[in-house]
Chain A
Amino acid sequence: MDHSFLSIARNALSGHEGWPRAWRDPPLQPAYDAIVVGAGGHGLSTAYHLARDHGIRRVAVLEKGWLGGGNTARNTVTIRANYLREPSMRFYAAGIRMWEGLSRELGYNVMFSQRGQVDLVQTWAKLRDVKRRQASLRLLGVPFDVITPREAKARVPLLEIDAPSRMPVLAATWHPTAGVARHDAVAWGYARAADAMGVDIVQDCPVAAIRREGGRVVGVDTARGFVAAPRVALCVSAHAGVLAATAGFRLPIETVPLQAFVSEPLKPVLDTIVNIPHLATYFSQSDKGELVIGGGADGYPSYAPRGSFHVVEEAVGAMLSLFPALRRVRMLRQWAGSIDLCHDITPLLSPSPVEGLHLSVGWGSGGFKAIPIGGKALAHLVATGTPHPLAEHLLLSRFERGRPLFETAGASNRL
C-alpha cells in the first residue's frame, strides 16, 4: 500500500473505504529469532531496524495493549539535541538527522516539523550554562545560539518581557533544528514498515515474565503462553523494573508520573517550542491548534498515571507569569505518563545481567526524540552483541564503574 497522490485521489472517490490494513494481525508463533517486548516507538523502531539493517525478520513485537498506546501516546513530542553532556549531544543530534529523512524512509508522513525551540534563561547561572552548551554544540555542528530577550520576543510574540517580574527573562536560546512530530504516525509508520518485512506485531499480548535458564534468556511467558527466543529486547516504560525482577535483577530506575495537558484549540499563536526550565514547564502548539503543555514530575515514585493537582497548578501559574495573554484559555484534558527515570537521567541501552536479554529502558521524559536512533542502536546491539558506537555511554556497566552520566536536560529535571 502506498500513499501516492494517485492512490489518495482514487480512494477519495470511493469514500476512503478501499484502504487495506496497514499491518497484519498475525497469530503468535511458538518461537522467534528475537522478541521485542513493547510496541511503542522504540520497540517498533528496533524491530524495523533488526529486519532492515541486520536481516533478522523472524521477530515478534509483543504489546500488552495496542501499539503506540503507552508513553508514545502520552508524551509531548519534542525532538531536540540541546543536552548537557557531549555523548548525549552527539546521540540526539544523530537522532535529529534520522528524523529529517524519516517520512521518506518509511513512506509515511510522520509530520516532522522543525519549528525550532526557544529556551528562556532566568538566572545568571543558567546563562553561563547555556553559553557553555552553545560552544559544545557548535563543535558538533548543532545550531544552538544564545539570543537576547528582544530576539526571543520576536520569535514568540506571546512572551511578556517588559512587565515587572520576580524572575525577569535575562536571555534565551534558539535551537532551530528542534521540532515536533505526530506521535501516532511515528508508531504507525514503523509498524507498517516492519510488518512489510515480515515482523509479527502481536497486540493484546502482555508479557508476564522473562524466562531464563542459567544465565541465558530463553523466551518470555505471555498471557497466551510461552514464546521461545534466544534474544529478547525490553522496550517498555514504567514496567522495566517489574520485568527485570522476573529475570532476577534490579535496575537503577524509579518510576515517577510526569504530567502534561492540552488546552482548547486556538488560532495559531505560537510557531516554535517554548521551554521555561526555571518554572518547569514548556509548550508548543499542535496542528489542531491545542497548546500542548508539559509540566513537572511529581515528587514521589508511582505507577498511577495521573499525579497531583498542585503540579498542574504550578505549571499553569508559571506559564501565565510570562504569557499573560493565555490567562483565559481553558484546558481540555490532563494526564500523566509514568516514566522510568534512571538515577543519572541518562537512559539505558545496554546488555543486561542475563545473556541475550537487552534493555532500552529508563528514557525518562525524553524517549520520543530518540525513537529512530534508539531503535537503530538497540537493533545493532541485539544483532551483533556489541554496543552501537553512538550509544556506548548508555551501558548499564557505567554504574559499577563509578561513571554515571548525570544529565540535567530532561523535563523531569529541567535545569
Chain B
Amino acid sequence: MLSITCPHCGPRAEVEFTCAGEPVRRPDATAPMDGAALAAILYERDNVRGPHEELWWHRHGCRTWFRVVRDTRDNAVLP
C-alpha cells in the first residue's frame, strides 16, 4: 500500500484516498469546439511512464484535493 502525504493531514494510507489521475486542462469555454477537440480533453491522456503529476482526493479524511508527483515505473512518490 502506498503512503500518500495529504497537505493537511500528513502521511496517510492509500486506502483513505481516491486517485483521480491526470489533471485535465480545461478548455476556454468561449472557444469553438469540435468533436476531436472535445474527445482530446475528455478521453485522451498522456499516460506517462515516469514522473506523473496527478490529482488525489483525501476522500476518507479532510476531503482536500491536491497534486502528487509519482513515478509510474516504481510508484515512488516524489517530493
Which residues in A have some Cβ–Cβ distance to B below 8 Å?
239, 241-242, 245, 250-255, 299-304, 308-310, 343, 399-402, 404
Interface of A is mostly: loop
Residues of A within 8 A of B74 (CB): 304
A254 touches B2 (CB 8 A): no
Q: Given A255-B72, A304-B74, A308-B14, A241–B47 Cβ distance below 8 Å?
A: yes
Q: Given A241-B45, A253-B47, A254-B21, A302–B39 Cβ distance below 8 Å?
A: no
A308 touches B2 (CB 8 A): yes
A252 touches B14 (CB 8 A): no
Q: How far is the CB of A339 from chain B (nearest CB, A)?
A: 12
- Alpha-carbon distance between A326 and B38 when the two chains are bound, in angstroms: 49
Q: How far is the CB of A238 from chain B (nearest CB, A)?
A: 9
- Alpha-carbon distance between A239 and B47 when the two chains are bound, in angstroms: 9
A250 touches B40 (CB 8 A): yes
A303 touches B38 (CB 8 A): no
A selection of 13 A-B contacts at a CB cut-off of 8 Å is A241-B45, A250-B46, A254-B21, A255-B47, A255-B72, A301-B19, A301-B47, A304-B75, A309-B1, A310-B14, A399-B39, A400-B34, A402-B39
Residues of B within 8 A of A343 (CB): 42-43
Q: How far is the CB of B46 from chain A (nearest CB, A)?
A: 6
Q: Mark B30-54, 1 if CB is under 8 A from A, else 0.
A: 0000111011101111110100101
Q: Given A239-B49, A242-B49, A400–B73 Cβ distance below 8 Å?
A: no
Contacts between the two chains (Cβ within 8 Å), count: 75
- Alpha-carbon distance between A302 and B49 when the two chains are bound, in angstroms: 8
Q: Given A241-B45, A401-B35, A404-B43, A301–B54 Cβ distance below 8 Å?
A: yes
Q: How many residues of B contact A (CB 8 A)?
A: 28
Residues of B within 8 A of A254 (CB): 21, 45, 47
Which residues in B have some Cβ–Cβ distance to A below 8 Å?
1-2, 14-15, 18-19, 21-22, 34-36, 38-40, 42-47, 49, 52, 54, 70, 72-75
- Alpha-carbon distance between A227 and B20 when the two chains are bound, in angstroms: 39
- Alpha-carbon distance between A242 and B39 when the two chains are bound, in angstroms: 19
- Alpha-carbon distance between A308 and B44 when the two chains are bound, in angstroms: 26
A302 touches B1 (CB 8 A): no
- Alpha-carbon distance between A344 and B8 when the two chains are bound, in angstroms: 34
Residues of B within 8 A of A301 (CB): 19, 21-22, 47, 52, 54, 72
Q: How far is the CB of A362 from chain B (nearest CB, A)?
A: 11
- Alpha-carbon distance between A303 and B52 when the two chains are bound, in angstroms: 11
- Alpha-carbon distance between A254 and B44 when the two chains are bound, in angstroms: 9
Q: How far is the CB of A135 from chain B (nearest CB, A)?
A: 31
B72's partner among A253, A302, A309 (CB-CB below 8 A) is A302
B36 touches A252 (CB 8 A): no
- Alpha-carbon distance between A401 and B39 when the two chains are bound, in angstroms: 8
B45's partner among A250, A300, A308, A402 (CB-CB below 8 A) is A250
A299's partner among B18, B43, B72 (CB-CB below 8 A) is B18
Residues of A within 8 A of B75 (CB): 302, 304
Residues of A within 8 A of B46 (CB): 241, 245, 250
B1 touches A251 (CB 8 A): no
Residues of B within 8 A of A239 (CB): 49
Residues of B within 8 A of A253 (CB): 45, 47
Among residues of A, the one whose C-beta sits closest to the C-beta of B17 is A299
Q: How far is the CB of B13 from chain A (nearest CB, A)?
A: 8
B73 touches A304 (CB 8 A): yes
- Alpha-carbon distance between A245 and B73 when the two chains are bound, in angstroms: 17
Residues of B within 8 A of A252 (CB): 39, 43-45
- Alpha-carbon distance between A246 and B46 when the two chains are bound, in angstroms: 12
- Alpha-carbon distance between A255 and B35 when the two chains are bound, in angstroms: 24
Q: How far is the CB of B48 from chain A (nearest CB, A)?
A: 8
Residues of A within 8 A of B39 (CB): 252, 399-400, 402
B73 touches A303 (CB 8 A): yes
Q: How far is the CB of A230 from chain B (nearest CB, A)?
A: 25
B44 touches A251 (CB 8 A): yes
A300 touches B35 (CB 8 A): no
Q: How far is the CB of B22 from chain A (nearest CB, A)?
A: 8
A402's partner among B18, B22, B35, B70 (CB-CB below 8 A) is B35
Residues of B within 8 A of A250 (CB): 40, 44-47
- Alpha-carbon distance between A245 and B49 when the two chains are bound, in angstroms: 11
Among residues of A, the one whose C-beta sits closest to the C-beta of B40 is A250
